[in-house]
Structure 1
Amino acid sequence: MPKTGQARVPTDEEWQHVFDVIQQHRHPEKNTAIMQISAKLGLRVQEIALLQIKEVARLKKTPPGFTLFEVMALPAAYTKGANAMGRSKSTYARRTLSFSVEEFDRVVGQIADLAKAGVDIDPARFYPPVKNRSGQSRDLPLVDEELRDALFAYLALRLDKNPSARPTDPLFITQKGGPYSPNTLQEHMALILRDWAGIEKASSHSGRRSVMTNIIHKQKKPLKVAQKVAGHKSASTTLIYDEPPEEAISDALANLTEK
């Protein structure tokens, strides 16, 4: 089972239920495309929110108005930690701080000296600097037929409603016509998975975990393959996903015998 706070990996049957139940709600083309990208490419929610039309298709004047690419080229700026295109307005809020022993001793000494001098102490003055995270670009082949069908159906509808759409327009837009913020899209995907499909503990990260679990455990591909798909700079980050799938743990517990 998933760790506390970790997104659940839906089974194949549960994913099929997700796509079935989407058809019973508004905007099925858009929601299917969003969830297909999550479940078949393993993109982070921020990456999905920042996608532009030019990442998945080339616009043209002849019907149907576009040609789907064979490969999605995901820019480095879209990946985790990047403020791509200046659309992410959230500020970084620290929850933990890490110091080396030497640095900790130095900070404690400074605080002690200031306290003896009667100076007001602002803890934030002593926080270590934030390490900027750089993005990791990657090319993801658009080979899954259900994914391609979903993108085609959504783009055909999108361009029918707005023939003047530009390549740099957001791929997915809200009902108000603007781009999704990562937080809004995260909540929307969780709504689809938990409320519509009834999958307990699922979240916008479930698709990403599903892809990694499939590559590592079901297909038994080299870790480098999973690392490339995930867009991780370090293989140690990819190892976080190297956990037995829920079905394997459930099967193990179901087959316990008394000694």
Structure 2
Amino acid sequence: MSKTGQARVLTPEQFAHLLSVIQAHRYPEKNTALVQISFKLGLRVQEIALLQIKDVAELDPETSGQRSFKLKEILALPAAYTKGSDALKRSKTTYQRRRISFSIHDFDQLVRQIEAMAKAGAEINPTDFYPEAKKHRGKSRDLPMNDTVLRTALDNYLLIRLAANPSVKKSDLLFMTQKGGPYSPNTLQEHLALMQRQWAGIERASSHSGRRTLITNIIHKQGKSVKIAQKIAGHVSPSTTLIYEEPPEESLSDALKQAGYHFISD
């Protein structure tokens, strides 16, 4: 079943328009690289925010104030970057638990245990009986960076980044804010949405549009299996990837255009 309010899947024309309007704003090289990684590799916002230079390029030693590099062929995305892995050390396990579940056997045992404690006059704290929270582990994945436009965008951005600061470390974050600090996932989420909605005027586009556009196209336009899409997306369960099996908005629009009666006037 589909989710309401899903991020928009961009058409090729909308994507081309987005890349075009980015050139009219500040930091076009960085913003182009951000968009290309989102739409060509399908990374989550948190994953993009955590990318380090060494994840996409090999840096050569600094020579006479200059620094060269070579892009990697494969982005080996560590498990620590992925959703649910608490890579940012901001676990919300304690206060996010709005629902808990038990098997029938465990529930019966729990009721008997509470009854015994109540009869003994013991203090009962509900949280003591919560089942152990499931710890979601990140899922690593290797993503080939063979798209020529993606590679060109990364080349252009890193050339400017290294020219401005040849002494950068390979462990430095790949993308920095205009103030020189790291992007938080929320800040990067807002920035990607700003470029698509306000700069390019694409309604309902969001930071998830790149990821959703890529996975939708892999399944619908390329006709690849859900298993391949799942691997690229880094979904633990194929049921999550199956959401993308629904027809994209573009297909629905074409169907509606031709669904009604057409009258020819004399």
Q: Work out whether residues 102 and 131 of structure 2, in 8 Å CA contact, stay in contact via their aligned partners in 1.
A: no
Q: Is 1:91 aligned with 2:92?
A: yes
Could you say which residue in structure 1 is the equivalent of 2:208?
A: 205
Output the amino acid matched with 2:220: H
Q: Which amino acid aligns with 1:242?
A: E
Counterpart for residue 47 of structure 1:
47
Partner of 1:192 in structure 2?
Answer: 195
Q: What's 1:138 paired with?
A: 141
* Paired residue secondary structure (1:180): coil
- TM-score of the superposition, structure 1-length normalised? 0.88
CA contact (8 A) 2:67 2:166 kept: no
Tell me the matched-pair count: 255
Q: Which whole-Å CA distance do the structure 2 matches of 1:95 and 1:243 have between them?
A: 30
Unaligned stretches of 5+ in structure 1?
none
Superposition deviation, residue 225 in structure 1: 1.3
The answer to whether the 8 Å contact 2:59/2:67 transfers is no
Q: Which runs of 5+ in 2 are unaligned?
A: 262-266
Aligned counterpart, 1:82: 85
1:177 alignment partner, one of 176, 180, 194: 180
**Larger mean Cα displacement after TM superposition, 179-188 or 34-43:** 179-188
Q: Pairwise mapping of residues 96-245 of structure 1 onto structure 2 (< 5 A)?
A: 96-102=98-104, 103-104=106-107, 123-245=126-248
**Distance 1:88-1:33 versus aligned 2 partners, 3 A rule:** farther
Rg larger for: 2
- Secondary structure class of the residue paired with 1:67: strand
In 2 relative to 1, CA 241–163 (structure 1 residues): closer, same or farther, beyond 3 Å?
same
Sort the Cα spacing of 1:257 and 1:169 in 2 relative to 1 into closer, same or farther, 3 A.
same
Quick one: distance in 2 between partners of 1:91 and 1:100? 21
Distance (whole Å) between structure 2 residues aligned to residue 200 and residue 117 of structure 1: 61
Superposed CA deviations along residues 131-190 of structure 1, whole A, max 9, x for unmatched, are 111121111111111111110111111111111111111001112322211111111111
CA contact (8 A) 1:8 1:203 kept: yes
Would the alpha carbon gap of residues 166 and 107 (structure 1) be closer, same or farther in structure 2, given more than 3 Å must change? same
> Which amino acid in structure 1 is aligned with residue 191 of structure 2?
H
Tell me by how many angstroms 1:91 deviates. 2.5
Give the CA deviation at 1:119: 7.7
How much is the aligned-residue C-alpha RMSD, in angstroms? 2.3
In the superposition, the TM-score normalised over structure 2's length comes to 0.86
